[in-house]
Amino acid sequence: MIGRIHSYESLGALDGPGLRYVVFMQGCPLSCGCCHNPDTSTFEGGEEITPHELYATVEKYRPYFGTEGGITASGGEPLCQAEFLSEVFSLCRDGGITTCLDTSGYMLSETVEKLLDLTDTVLLDIKYSCDEDYVKYTGMSYSAVIDFLKVLDKKGINTVLRRVIIPGLNDKPEDSECLVELSQKYSCVKKVELLPFKKFCTEKYERLGIPFPFAHIPEPDPEAVKKEEARISELIKIS
C-alpha cells in the first residue's frame, strides 16, 4: 500500500489538539473557489510512501506531542486515500499517538468508516450553509457533509466544525446560526473554529498558471472573525 503525500508540517499548532505532525495528502476532487492549496488538487505526483515509512517519521516527533498532540492528515482530501491512512492510523493507535483528520467530509464508504473508527478527532469543514452555495463554490452538496456529520455523531468522534469566512458568501447572521444549530443538534461537536479567508495563495495560482476564482474577494477583518467565533462559542456553551 502506497500513499501520495504533497508535503509535511512537522509541528503544526493549528490543526487539531496540541502539537501535531501534519501530512498534506496529494489529490482532491473538489473545486473550492477559496482553496489555498491548489497544488494538492491533482492526484498525480506527490511523494510516494508506505504506511510504515510515514509512521517511522511521525514517531520521531513523539517527544513533542505530549498527551494531546499526534498526527493530522490534511490535504488535498485525505478521504481519497482512506485505505492508506487506515494503516497509518492503526500503527499510530498501537503506538499511542493520537489521530486527526482535516476533511471536507465529501464522501462515505466502508473504507472511510474504517478510517473513522481509527480517528480521535475530525476537523470538519462546513464551508457554506446551503446546497446551492455548496454546489456552486465547491462542487459537492451540503447534504453530503451533513450525512458525514451524522456518522461522526453516531460514532461519537470529537468533532470541530471549521469555516473559512469569505466576505459576502458565508458571513451572514444566518450562516452563524447554521453553525450554532449544527453544534446543538450533534453532540459530537465540541468546538467551532472560524478562520479568515486569506489570499497568500495568489502566487501559487500564478505559478500554476490557473485563475484564482476568489481573487476579487477581499480578506475579512481577522479581529471581527475572532469576535464572531467567540460569540458562537459562548452561545454553544450556554445552550
Distances (CA, A) of 145 to 34, 35, 172, 174: 18, 17, 20, 18
Rg value, the chain, Cα: 17
Judged by beta carbon, residue 102 or residue 236, the one nearer ligand SF4 is 102
For residue 102, the minimal CB distance to ligand SF4 (Å) is: 9
Judged by beta carbon, residue 77 or residue 229, the one nearer ligand SF4 is 77
For residue 88, the minimal CB distance to ligand SF4 (Å) is: 19
Residue type, 238: I
Q: Is 73 helix (H, G, I), strand (E, B) or coil?
A: strand
Q: Does 166 interact with ligand SF4 (rule: CB under 6 A)?
A: no
Q: Choose which of 81, 98, 104, 119 interacts with ligand SF4 (CB under 6 A).
A: 104
Residue type, 106: Y
Distances (CA, A) of 149 to 68, 106, 158, 189: 23, 10, 11, 9
The DSSP code for 166 is: -
* Helices (runs of H) and strands (runs of E) counted in the chain: 9, 8
Stretch that binds ligand SF4, among 23-31, 128-136, 184-192, 227-235 (CB under 6 A): 23-31
Q: Does 28 interact with ligand SF4 (rule: CB under 6 A)?
A: yes
Q: Does 22 interact with ligand SF4 (rule: CB under 6 A)?
A: no
Q: Choose which of 46, 69, 75, 78 interacts with ligand SF4 (CB under 6 A).
A: 75
Q: Does 165 interact with ligand SF4 (rule: CB under 6 A)?
A: no
List interacting residues with ligand SF4 (CB under 6 A): 28, 30-32, 35, 37, 40-41, 75-77, 104
